[in-house]
Structure 1
Amino acid sequence: MESIKLVVLDMAGTTVADDGLVERAFAEAAAETLGTAAYEEQLAYVRATMGESKISVFRHLSGGDEALARRANAAFEAAYARLVDVGHCAPLPGAREVIERLRGEGRTVALTTGFARVTQDAILAALGWDDGLVDLALCPADAGGRGRPYPDMALTALLRTHAADGVGGIAVAGDTSYDMLSGRRAGAPVVAGVLTGAHGAEALRAAGATVVLDSVAQLPDAIAAYEAGP
């Protein structure tokens, strides 16, 4: 059994408090670009696909109209950035301490998101996490354009950092079913679902979580337990 050398952490809902920001930003984007006639149906889809690349979500909601999808995604990112700018952004309790502990244990830490790079950077700056806290921060565009549930961001983190000898040295943590699917498809032996975000324990387990935690604060101990074996 390979020890865990690379830990891939989701942002909103896992290490960063969401507090409804995604839904608020989506409401603004829908009103501006998609219209509100089917808003409740659209919102249900957004909730079900939390964790997916936002441009992919808007491609679905626009019925394949690429220009409309890009306008809607841009409106969403702008709305989310405005919410971050006025202070609606906070770390989940213990998140920074967890990252520091993981790195102190000799593990490499990557943060991943379904947001665009500009939004990810705004969140990191607002939290003061752009100070070298993590080894790597990735958005879907950094990994070929496909976000979750594809494994691309976790595998890109492995390729860029060379932190582990193979996928057996990766742990993935997130709050959505798509995070779990992404981790399992990447071959990570530790795929931790956390209950601080979009989806509950049943959905996380159904999507492949190897362990479900109350919060990311429990992740270091869960990794240690895995490494200790049965």
Structure 2
Amino acid sequence: MNEAHSTNPIDPIDPINPINPIKLVVLDMAGTTVADGGLVEQAFSAAAQRLGVEPGSADHAEKLTYVRATMGESKISVFRHLFGDETLAQRANTAFEEAYGELVGAGHIAPLPGAREAVEKLRADGRTVALSTGFARVTQDAILAALGWQDLVELTLCPADAGRGRPYPDMVLAAFLRTGAADGVREIAVAGDTSYDMLSGVRSGAGIVAGVLTGAHDRDQLVAHGATHVLGSVAELPGLLAREGR
């Protein structure tokens, strides 16, 4: 029998009807479900200054440009690139996480409009939802606590939980393996606001990779890095999946 037309029940992709239902949704946090009002840049400036990078200097401007370009990437990876030396990178990352945590604790963070409702709708539709971030676990937990989101989703992931951060697919695949919610990667939807979110989704094999326009990168950047759909915000994601029969 021609294997291309196999009806093996364990095959996650039906060759006759290749549209797979979405069973697992992996959502980014800052810029996608969470509004942080530019706290990444503020925390970076505080961390850089602690390592001797003067605000307003050419060095500071160059490093800040790189931070903006790599929004969504694991923060320790960003600092490794910027400072080269592992010890300096770890110092910068610690200072960044401390500064960001202080800003979160001071109330400079909020859910993006419709984000919580979107998550609740996705779950009510029978989908498993995971939240992922490029921050360290301590910062992710501080954000979740500040929003009262500790029990909002089935799983939360940071780079250390999965192996590598974005643009690698590790966090998406870790969610796939840990939740057991989907039969194959085509039953995953990934949503985020950065090109690195898109790359992570594409590299994981996710069936839908949705960019949202509430964060760091614009439509052209999201599409160029693999977005299958571009939405005004994550609030539109449940409707997209419903319309597409996914």
TM-score, scaled relative to structure 1 = 0.96
The one-letter code matched in structure 1 to 2:211 is: G
**Equivalent pair of 1:194/1:216 in contact (CA under 8 Å):** yes
**Equivalent pair of 1:149/1:178 in contact (CA under 8 Å):** yes
Which residue number in structure 2 is paired with residue 174 of structure 1?
Answer: 192
Which residue number in structure 2 is paired with residue 140 of structure 1?
Answer: 159
CA distance in 2, matches of 1:83, 1:199: 23
**Equivalent pair of 1:34/1:72 in contact (CA under 8 Å):** no
The one-letter code matched in structure 2 to 1:45 is: Y
1:147-187 alpha-carbon deviations (Å, 9 max, x no partner): 00000000000000000001010000000000000000000
CA distance in 2, matches of 1:95, 1:221: 13
CA distance in 2, matches of 1:153, 1:215: 21
Q: How does 1:38-187 map to 2 (within 5 A)?
A: 38-63=59-84, 65-130=85-150, 132-144=151-163, 146-187=164-205
Does 1:197 find its partner at 2:215? yes
| Local SS of the residue matching 2:111 | coil
1:87-145 alpha-carbon deviations (Å, 9 max, x no partner): 00100001110000000000000000000000000000000001x2100000000001x
Kindly report the root-mean-square deviation, in angstroms, between the aligned alpha carbons of the 2 structures: 0.8
- Provide structure 1 residue ranges, at least 5 long, that are not aligned to the other structure: none
Rg bigger for which structure? 2
- Provide structure 2 residue ranges, at least 5 long, that are not aligned to the other structure: 1-18
**Equivalent pair of 1:34/1:62 in contact (CA under 8 Å):** no
TM-score, scaled relative to structure 2 = 0.90
Aligned length: 225
CA distance in 2, matches of 1:224, 1:207: 24
**Equivalent pair of 1:18/1:197 in contact (CA under 8 Å):** no
CA distance in 1, matches of 2:25, 2:180: 12
CA distance in 1, matches of 2:30, 2:52: 24
Percent identity between the two aligned chains: 71
CA distance in 1, matches of 2:239, 2:202: 20
Deviation (angstroms), 1:223: 1.4
| Local SS of the residue matching 1:227 | coil
The one-letter code matched in structure 1 to 2:78 is: V
1:3-46 alpha-carbon deviations (Å, 9 max, x no partner): 00000000000000021100000000000015134000000000
CA distance in 2, matches of 1:153, 1:161: 12
| Local SS of the residue matching 1:121 | helix
